Homo-oligomer: A and B are copies of this chain.
Amino acid sequence: MTFALPQIAPLNEAMQAAARERQNNLTKPPGSLGRLEELSVQLAGILEQERPSVTRKAVIVMAGDHGVVAEGVSAYPAEVTPQMVMNFLYGGAAINALAGSAGARVVIVDMGVAADLPDHPQLVKRKVAYGTKNMAVGPAMTREQAEDALLAGIEVVSAEIENGLDLVAIGEMGIGNTTAATALTAVFTGLPIADLTGRGTGVDDAGLARKIQVIENALAVNKPDPNDAMDALMKVGGLEIAGLAGVVLGAAARRVPVVIDGFISSAAALVAAELAPAVKPYLIGSHESVEIGHQAILRRLGVRPLFNLDMRLGEGTGAALAFPIIEGAARVLDEMATFAEAGVAGG
């Protein structure tokens, strides 16, 4: 491959040990804050701080269209992709409300929307193509397009890191993108397509059967190589998925923790992890989606979600809801008194 993957280091074990030691001396029974304690140790190892702070937060939402919608795989028409991008820019979408509530900025990136979008101060224009091609009849992208999209993701998150960033979430918008995410999941896990295919934005039973058939066709036509993540990405992926895989790679390379969202966002993280397994310890799960393929991705990534709120929207909404939990975990480690400091008797 001509594309050079960034170098990703392991977590800092000394910082993790220091954080764990501090947790065991804080004024609570050891372990009684459960996963908050684990999160704080993970953050310490990623950010290389004994008492990490995660106040500067962003949700990077990437948008792209999918040629496969020609096969009738979605309940919504493709023009909803640019319409929702405009909704993001005007602050009317779920991710605007939830990121705002969590004190996080939202970065909207056009990776491959099949329409020209106006200039807007919050819109990052990295369009690689006007949508992917129809994977049911041939590769969704060229290899060069997939590499360009990955690189764009690395550059977008690098620019955000320059602006100040302790924690990043990845979200997406793209009518048809559960089809691409399902195809990628099937390739990397080897599980039956029917066991991984959900209703996306809400197809009926006939639509679901058609979607499964379309993905089967796409894999039969393209024969993506499960041992070559770039091959799978270009053949059955999406431009926003490739961009988000780049965000994961770029964030991990710069030691910024990445909060993954639902099915599509996690499929992007899976692509990144297949390209560079060293990204895995930089990932933080947020919710478990209604989309049935999500669990298979989380298992393969070794990521345990924090909650299941029966959500299936995407956009980074579940990840934004996890921000306060992750920030709370960091604040516990930083702000709590030790038994000695507080004059409290130990167990």
Q: Which residues of A contact B (CB under 8 A)?
A: 26-30, 32-36, 75-77, 79-80, 83-84, 86-87, 90-94, 96-98, 100-102, 201-202, 290, 306-313, 317, 320-321, 323-325, 327-328, 331-332, 334-337, 341-347
Contact = CB atoms under 8 A, between A and B. Distances in A.
Given A332-B98, A336-B93, A311 B33 contact: yes
Contacts of A86: 342-343
Contacts of A337: 87, 90, 92-93
Given A77-B345, A290-B34, A332-B97, A84 B27 contact: yes
A79 B307 contact: no
When all copies of this chain in the complex are counted, the total is 2
Best-surrounded residue of A75, A84, A100, A344 (most CB of chain B within 10 A): A344
Given A27-B94, A92-B342, 10 more contacts: A34-B312, A79-B345, A84-B344, A97-B328, A97-B332, A100-B331, A101-B331, A307-B307, A320-B328, A324-B325
Nearest to A87: B342
Nearest to A75: B347
- Counting from the closest, the 3 A-B pairs by CB-CB distance are A92-B337, A34-B310, A324-B324
A311 B36 contact: yes
B102 A309 contact: no
A342 to B, nearest CB: 4
A216 to B, nearest CB: 25
Contacts of A76: 29, 345-347
A64 to B, nearest CB: 17
A285 to B, nearest CB: 12
A28 B328 contact: no
A320 to B, nearest CB: 8
Contacts of A310: 34-35
Contacts of A347: 75-76, 201-202
A325 to B, nearest CB: 6
Nearest to A343: B83
A188 to B, nearest CB: 25
A323 B96 CA distance: 18
Contacts of A93: 27-28, 336-337, 342
Nearest to A262: B32
A347 B78 CA distance: 11
29 contacts: A27-B84, A28-B94, A29-B75, A32-B311, A32-B312, A33-B94, A33-B309, A33-B313, A33-B317, A34-B290, A34-B311, A36-B311, A76-B346, A76-B347, A83-B342, A83-B344, A90-B337, A90-B342, A92-B337, A92-B342, A94-B332, A94-B336, A96-B335, A96-B336, A101-B324, A201-B347, A306-B307, A307-B307, A324-B325
